[in-house]
């Protein structure tokens, strides 16, 4: 299959190059015009692809790096602590984002006035993806993310619950309890990538994914 795709690609480029050459060299005006129209139609996929790449380049931004998160933490600190306290009160909601929320009871919905309180804090502090809780009660305030499904990664701040009784999955910094850590995505084992750095006793800057 890869060789067939390569062959088709080479043939496409050859036809396109031939059309471009003859669109200028052919001496018959009418035929030259037809060749130019056909060449323009043939080149439209390339034009659309280039336009898409340019669009993505200027509209999709990588989430903040660990160093960005460390630098921006002090002015956000009060908001981060406030979000954790709010989430403690709404503990059954394991994910609260600006545009969705869900709980351990799928029928439960966060009341709109309460959801608006979260949205206000998110908007005022540049927190694009909301807050998530793990099975032990640790909190991940997700500042930004890029990509979809298992192709992307997310970055933000993790607060490890000091009173957590470890009964299930924890975010990597809380599980490893190190000053810093890093792991690349392993295609063989499907172990997720992560990196983190400690900010203080309970807080970490965290990057997770792809997985």
State the DSSP code for 126: T
In this prediction, residue 156 carries a pLDDT of 97
User: Considering the entire predicted model, what is its pTM?
Assistant: 0.71
pLDDT in tens, 168-210: 789 999 999 999 999 998 888 888 899 999 999 999 999 998 8
pLDDT in tens, 55-77: 444 445 688 999 999 999 999 99
Cα separation, 72 vs 207, in Å, equals 15
pLDDT in tens, 102-158: 988 777 889 999 999 999 999 999 999 999 999 899 999 999 998 765 678 899 999
Burial 43-63 (b: 16+ CB within 10 A, else e): eeeeeeeeeeeeeeeeeeeeb
Cα separation, 95 vs 56, in Å, equals 28
The more confident residue out of 15 and 82 is 82
- CA distances in angstroms from 78 to 143, 161, 192, 211, listed in the order given: 15, 17, 30, 31
In this prediction, residue 163 carries a pLDDT of 85
List, in order, residues 6 or more apart from 52 with CB less than 8 Å away. Answer: none
Q: How many CB atoms lie within 10 A of CB 178?
A: 12
**Above 60 in pLDDT, residue 39?**
yes
Q: Are 66 and 195 in contact (CB under 8 A)?
A: yes
């Amino acid at each position: 299959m890869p060789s067939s795709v390569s062959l088709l690609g080479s043939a496409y480029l050859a036809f396109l190059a031939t059309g471009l050459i003859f669109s200028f060299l052919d001496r018959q005006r009418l035929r030259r015009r037809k060749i130019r129209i056909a060449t323009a139609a043939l080149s439209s996929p390339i034009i659309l692809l280039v336009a898409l790449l340019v669009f993505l380049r200027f509209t999709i931004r990588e989430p903040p790096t660990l160093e960005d998160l460390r630098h921006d933490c002090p002015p956000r600190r009060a908001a981060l602590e406030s979000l954790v306290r709010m989430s403690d009160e709404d503990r059954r909601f394991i994910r609260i984002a600006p545009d969705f929320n869900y709980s351990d009871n799928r029928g439960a919905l966060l009341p709109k006035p309460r959801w608006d309180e979260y949205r206000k804090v998110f908007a005022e502090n540049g927190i694009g993806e909301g807050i998530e809780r793990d099975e032990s009660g640790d909190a991940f305030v997700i500042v930004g993310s890029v990509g979809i499904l298992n192709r992307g990664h997310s970055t933000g701040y993790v607060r490890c619950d000091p009173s957590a009784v470890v009964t299930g999955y924890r975010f990597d910094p809380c599980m490893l309890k190190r000053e810093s850590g890093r792991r690349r995505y392993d295609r063989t084992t499907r172990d997720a990538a992560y990196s983190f750095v400690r900010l203080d006793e309970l807080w970490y800057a965290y990057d997770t994914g792809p997985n």
